Structure 1
Amino acid sequence: MSAHRLSRRIAHVLDLRPEADAVEYDGRWSSWAQLGDAARRVAELTTRYGGDTPQVGILLRNRPPQLAALLGVLLAGGTVVVINPSRGDDRTRADIADLALPVLIGDRDDLDALVTPAPTTTLLCLRTLAEDAVVDVAARGAVPQPRPGVAVRMLTSGTTGPPKRIDLTYDMLAHSVVGSEPAEPRHGIAIVNAPLVHIGGVFRVLQCVAEARSFALLERFELRAWADAVRRHRPRAVSLVPAALRTVLHSDLTRADLSSIRAVTSGTAPLSADDADAFTEKFGIPVLTSYAATEFGGGVAGWTLADHQRHWRAKRGSVGRASGGARLRVVDEDGTPLGPDEPGLLEVIPGQLGPGAGWLRTTDLARIDADGFLWILGRADQAIIRGGFKVMPDDVRTALEAHPAVRGATVIGRPDERLGETPVAMVELRDGATAEADELTGFLRARLARYEVPTEIAIVGAIPRTPSGKADLGAVRRFFATAPVDHG
């Protein structure tokens, strides 16, 4: 087994109380022993067919066998190469072919549908925790470039363009999830509804395992299944991406349904202060927003409960203060640091990168006040320049989502021969709600400058989203590329 600190912690927890419940999935519990036995079988197989530090592709779904595979590769000190089986069959097949990995793990349906057998790739089919993997051994092994110290090659959300892979090291993940060593399993049951193909899901699972905390694993966020898990397991804290939080906010759930919850954390995409306040007003639960990125290996800023109680009224809309040892600053385009409340580009030194790391330039426009609270003002690379006027898509989206019929919205720039670009919006309505594009346009005219009002508003059944819950802007652009251009 690996000497990495994260690997040692996983091994320790799997042996801590083997007979205790570890993971609930689809109403059934699996013990730490069942999870550990499956993980160790995967560790042995991946080392046998992939070498001492194997790169292993996993077609990840939120299911116990794939969870065991993730832990198994980490026990072996290998690299988990995240493959999203829900990105579309053709793209996933091309991704797998380009990776040319020595070992590929998935369930039977995914392997049959998405993998063209290659003489260099050994396939491990996982059906349940209890059954041995069905192994299809390669005729000759692939020899990918070794990535020493890399725990997970994570696929980014691909919000603005093609997804890319980011290397998350063992040290980065250990910094985020490994605290003091537990002597006993933790009390309380967590709920994991973030997808394992996103860093939020990987982080949450590894955090639970590192703390020896049992958890309910949901295949995806679905309101009724999530609410049932909350009622049964009574967690004190839950995590909801903004789209899921708005679904809960506008549901028929009551304070009694969520009575155990003391705080909701929310990240991965912007959440308006109005939505956060509405959630708190309805359920009596504070919403603690945060700021993170796959490139950082986790969070770098967020609200604590103490900060929320003391500062939220004055700092509402902020994503909190630097966390986890991170350093934050705002600079101009030349890289010159700016003072408190001056807007510019955000730069970060994540605590996960350890001493000696340099400043990482983001594409986020931000400001930091004198007390260290961070506001994200929008993406610099998504600003729409309409006839010389700058339109920030998040400002338009926030205004649209203030309409009582709107569940969610996303805004992009569409090329325009005369104006350069104009904003266009895609809107998803709440269940049972009705609204016309003209009504929404009138609503915006009372709240936005004329140049900020979209030239087209498309009302759709569902906004296409990435696994992290962000709008898939590539799909949105393709949608509007087929629509007529309005020179408004």
Structure 2
Amino acid sequence: MAAGTGQGWPAMTMAEVRDALTAPGARFEMEEVAIDGIATRTWKNAPASLAALLAASRGQGERTFLVLDDDRVSYAAHHRAVAALAGHLVALGIGRGDRVALAMRNLPEWPMVFFAIGAIGAIVVPLNAWWSADELDFALRDSGARLLICDGERLARLATPLSALPELPVIVTRSAAPGRAVRLESLIGAPADWAGLADADLPQVGIAPDDAAAIFYTSGTTGRPKGAVLSHRNLASNVLSNGYAAARVCLRRGEIPPEPAPRVALMVIPFFHVTGCSASLLPLVATGSTIVLMPKWDATQALGLIERERVTTTGGVPTIAWQLLEHPDRARYDLSSLEAIAYGGAPSAPDLVRRIRSDLSAAPGNGWGMTETTATVTSLAAEDYLHRPDSAGAPVAVADLAIRDADGITDLPPGTLGELWARGPMVVRGYWNRPEESAATFVDGWVRTGDIARIDTEGFLFIADRAKDVIIRGGENIYSIEVENVLYAHPSVTDAALIGVPHRTLGEEPVAVVHLCPGCTADAAELQAFVRARLAGFKVPVAIRFMTTPLPRNASGKILKSELKHCFVTEQADTA
């Protein structure tokens, strides 16, 4: 990594960088288009649709696209599989606007299915592979999915819900007991077979940039997930946003940005998150990069893959970086190919930023976004990150940020804390079948994020708190009310609150504070098992703290979580 932190850095201001990169005729040139009647700055050269991005990738030919164990899928083979599956979907009667649920781990089949659905104008509904059967069932019903495509693990987990949905067709991959489901392998073969499929074109479907492309579910403060409706433009914006962020790093150093080049990425972020899909998968496809898959994170395996595949970039959440840095056998592996480790979605210690640079000779990267912004709005990397390790970065050129007062109207001056609002072509249009919540969250092209933040005079964002009580554990969002609702359903619990306590590698962990009814009994293991039976494992509190009195509340009856955090975070620090 080039050194540029000495005298004379930065070589260009953020405004100068923006003017240079977005000049007429430049790769990152912008144009203004009307989205739902609202004038919006967009990337002029962004792919028009998922189908357009996939069609362009066909030109990568035999370059390796996906690697999983001994499977190596080329771009050409991937395109053949997408075209074949797209044809089968059309034959099933799936078409424009139909929702197709996708539930599987990070397998080569995931991006293939994703592109096949998007290429025919249908709406892909990626489901969290870690969800419980009840959570998966809710999303299937809420989205009105006309078809489910899943892996064997998800099929087994959904056995009971699917018995109540006899009319829902199912296609399954990697399953020894498909039951009523059609095996994907019987339609297009396994990944090793895709190269032998016919070299067919995609079905010809007219897709506009602002047509709906996907529904990504994000946990809601009401206890049930909300489906954010993403357009093709939303998803494709990250292709240029990622490139812009990388070029900005070069200009800040005083270097000429190179032409986009293929990378080798160790992919440990789930594709079913917008970060894994829009901010990682799609930009990697656009550059003809190779994606090395790990369906389940293992630090030792990751070190071996970095050495074997000459991985140049990885990351996802701070946990990944910490485990690589602190692995006892790290020195035994050749990690010299690593150029960057980027992450987001969880707080990170400033020491992590410095150690990525000093111990791995890689550039640290971070950013801010949310499901409602299709991931990336701000980015922070290399020297800018080293200078501001507590920042979430600066917005890409097509995005605007504002810090507003509680009235949602008054813009606050730089350095002042308030609610963060964001707008740009990456902001989704609303929630699926949630008109009231959509109207409250999306206002005139802006999304009110619920995050409390400040912006400095150079435009760098600093997140101070999350107004929506989100606990982010290793990149996974845990909404307090969802877990609290489950705890309240236990017959012994009369008061419950979920708080986040700091964790060095995961960022935060959930701890529940409960008060039991008089004469009732329950221990921590019982309550944890009660939650585990109803929610995904990552949402289960790592500890239960019991209070002999009701939880503290303010005059309006709201539990004072700040007091609980002060008490129990201090307690944890004292006993660590």
Q: Which residue of 1 aligns with 2:384?
A: 307
Contact 1:126 1:132 in 2 (8 A): no
Structure 1 residues 393, 275: CA separation in 2 closer, same or farther (over 3 Å shift)?
farther
Structure 1 residues 357, 206: CA separation in 2 closer, same or farther (over 3 Å shift)?
farther
Q: Percent identity?
A: 25
Contact 1:159 1:471 in 2 (8 A): no
1:205 aligns with 2:281: yes
Q: Give how far 1:306 is off.
A: 5.0
Q: 2:415 aligns with which of 341, 348, 354?
A: 341
1:37 aligns with 2:80: yes
Instruction: List aligned pairs for 1:415-454, cutoff 5 A.
Output: none
- CA deviations over 1:208-236 (Å, ceiling 9, x no partner): 22222222122132212221221122233
Q: Which residue of 2 aligns with 1:65?
A: 109
1:225 aligns with 2:290: no
Contact 1:236 1:263 in 2 (8 A): yes
Structure 1 residues 100, 338: CA separation in 2 closer, same or farther (over 3 Å shift)?
closer
Q: Within 2, Cα distance between the matches of 1:354 and 1:160?
A: 20
| TM-score when normalising by structure 1 | 0.71
Structure 1 residues 330, 408: CA separation in 2 closer, same or farther (over 3 Å shift)?
closer
1:121 aligns with 2:179: no
Instruction: List aligned pairs for 1:252-263, cutoff 5 A.
Output: 252=328, 253-254=330-331, 257-263=334-340
Q: Within 2, Cα distance between the matches of 1:159 and 1:249?
A: 35
Q: Within 1, Cα distance between the matches of 2:315 and 2:460?
A: 21
Which AA in structure 1 matches 2:187?
D
Q: Give how far 1:156 is off.
A: 2.1
Structure 1 residues 25, 344: CA separation in 2 closer, same or farther (over 3 Å shift)?
same
1:480 aligns with 2:544: yes
Structure 1 residues 17, 283: CA separation in 2 closer, same or farther (over 3 Å shift)?
closer
Q: Give how far 1:471 is off.
A: 10
Q: Which residue of 2 aligns with 1:429?
A: none
Q: Within 1, Cα distance between the matches of 2:78 and 2:364?
A: 33
Q: Which residue of 2 aligns with 1:84?
A: 128
Q: Within 2, Cα distance between the matches of 1:383 and 1:58?
A: 25
Q: Which residue of 2 aligns with 1:277?
A: 354
Q: Which residue of 2 aligns with 1:107?
A: 151
Q: Within 2, Cα distance between the matches of 1:263 and 1:31?
A: 24
Q: Within 2, Cα distance between the matches of 1:415 and 1:79?
A: 41
Q: Within 2, Cα distance between the matches of 1:196 and 1:246?
A: 21
Q: Which moved more, 1:279-288 or 1:57-66?
A: 279-288
- CA deviations over 1:83-137 (Å, ceiling 9, x no partner): 2343122332344345442211123453354152545322223349865269xxx
Q: Give how far 1:277 is off.
A: 2.6
Q: Within 1, Cα distance between the matches of 2:149 and 2:425?
A: 32
Contact 1:185 1:213 in 2 (8 A): no
Q: Within 1, Cα distance between the matches of 2:67 and 2:186?
A: 18
- Helix, strand or coil: the match of 1:120? coil
Q: Give how far 1:414 is off.
A: 3.8
Q: Within 2, Cα distance between the matches of 1:278 and 1:6?
A: 37
Structure 1 residues 69, 318: CA separation in 2 closer, same or farther (over 3 Å shift)?
same
Instruction: List aligned pairs for 1:359-438, cutoff 5 A.
Output: 359-382=446-469, 397=502, 401=504, 409-410=508-509, 414=513
Structure 1 residues 159, 353: CA separation in 2 closer, same or farther (over 3 Å shift)?
closer
Q: 2:313 aligns with which of 237, 244, 252?
A: 237
Q: Within 1, Cα distance between the matches of 2:300 and 2:168?
A: 40
Structure 1 residues 157, 277: CA separation in 2 closer, same or farther (over 3 Å shift)?
farther
1:327 aligns with 2:370: no
| TM-score when normalising by structure 2 | 0.61
> Structure 2 unaligned runs (5+)?
1-46, 175-182, 190-208, 244-258, 430-442, 472-497, 517-523, 552-566, 568-576
Contact 1:263 1:288 in 2 (8 A): yes
Q: 1:291 aligns with which of 359, 368, 379?
A: 368
Q: Within 1, Cα distance between the matches of 2:462 and 2:210?
A: 36
Q: Within 2, Cα distance between the matches of 1:159 and 1:257?
A: 45
**Greater RCO between the two (CA within 8 Å, min separation 6)?**
2
User: How many residues of Structure 1 are paired with residues of Structure 2 in the alignment?
Assistant: 402
Structure 1 residues 29, 268: CA separation in 2 closer, same or farther (over 3 Å shift)?
same
Q: Which moved more, 1:354-363 or 1:37-46?
A: 354-363
Q: 1:170 aligns with which of 232, 236, 241?
A: 232
Q: Within 2, Cα distance between the matches of 1:206 and 1:103?
A: 23
Q: Which residue of 2 aligns with 1:7?
A: 51
Q: Which residue of 2 aligns with 1:214?
A: 290
Q: Which residue of 2 aligns with 1:352?
A: 426
- Helix, strand or coil: the match of 1:334? coil
Q: Which moved more, 1:329-338 or 1:117-126?
A: 117-126
1:28 aligns with 2:71: yes
Q: 1:196 aligns with which of 259, 262, 271?
A: 271
Q: 1:132 aligns with which of 159, 167, 187?
A: 187
Structure 1 residues 160, 196: CA separation in 2 closer, same or farther (over 3 Å shift)?
farther
Alpha-carbon RMSD: 3.9
